[in-house]
């Protein structure tokens, strides 16, 4: 499970190797619960208590001193950007280029062949201090050639 991360990880370490323990411990973003023995989960969905209560032989969750979540998510504020007033898009349109603005869910696209519009794209990149990539036959723009920018400008 390389690369997967979860808000909460419950690790039952009874038969885990050291490597498996490390992997499970480093998948937790916020909460990590470590149990040394397995416990039964009630199968009765009609019970009043929907939570899982460990049996008497299970100790409270133990979190090792050196076991910490790999990342701590911080609350972020959402910044709303009005792309209709985009400086980059206006600059490119003023150059006579075909621009398709698919932000915020996508990219700012300039449709055209690299040989024909490459110099104009280089001017925009230099002017705004941004970067772009060329995509031949890009699905997002109807399998046409174009440059795409990931910028908020």
Domain boundaries, the chain: 1-75, 83-149
pLDDT the model gives residue 55: 47
pLDDT the model gives residue 10: 85
pLDDT the model gives residue 35: 84
pLDDT the model gives residue 68: 56
> Tokens 């449709």 map to which residue?
111
| Residue 60 pLDDT greater than 60, yes or no | no
Question: How many Cα atoms occupy the beta-carbon half-sphere of 50 within 13 Å?
Answer: 0
Q: Tell me: the pLDDT tens digits for 95-140? A: 999 999 988 888 999 999 999 999 999 999 999 999 999 999 888 8
Q: Tell me: the pLDDT tens digits for 7-56? A: 888 888 888 888 888 888 888 888 888 888 776 666 655 555 455 554 44
Q: How far apart are CA 102 and CA 106, in angstroms?
A: 5
Three-state DSSP at 11 gives: strand
Confidence of residue 1 (pLDDT cuts 50, 70, 90): very low
pLDDT the model gives residue 84: 80
The DSSP output letter for 46 is T
Confidence of residue 66 (pLDDT cuts 50, 70, 90): low
Instruction: State how far Cα 38 lies from the chain centre.
Output: 32
Q: Which tokens belong to 76?
A: 């972020």
Q: Return the number of other C-beta atoms located less than 10 Å from residue 4's C-beta.
A: 7
């Amino acid at each position: 499970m390389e690369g997967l991360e979860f808000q909460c990880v419950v690790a039952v370490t009874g038969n885990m190797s050291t490597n498996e323990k490390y992997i499970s411990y480093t998948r937790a973003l916020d909460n990590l619960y470590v149990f040394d023995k397995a416990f039964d989960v009630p199968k009765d969905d009609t019970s009043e208590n929907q939570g899982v209560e460990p049996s008497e032989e299970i100790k409270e969750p133990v979190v090792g001193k050196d076991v910490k979540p790999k990342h701590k998510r911080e609350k972020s504020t959402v910044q709303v950007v009005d792309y209709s007033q985009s400086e980059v898009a206006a600059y490119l349109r003023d150059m006579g280029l075909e621009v398709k603005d698919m932000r915020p869910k996508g990219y700012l696209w300039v449709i055209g062949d690299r040989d024909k519009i490459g110099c104009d794209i280089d001017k925009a990149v230099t002017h705004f201090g941004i970067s772009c990539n060329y995509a031949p036959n890009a699905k997002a723009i109807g399998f046409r050639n174009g440059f795409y920018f990931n910028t908020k400008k």
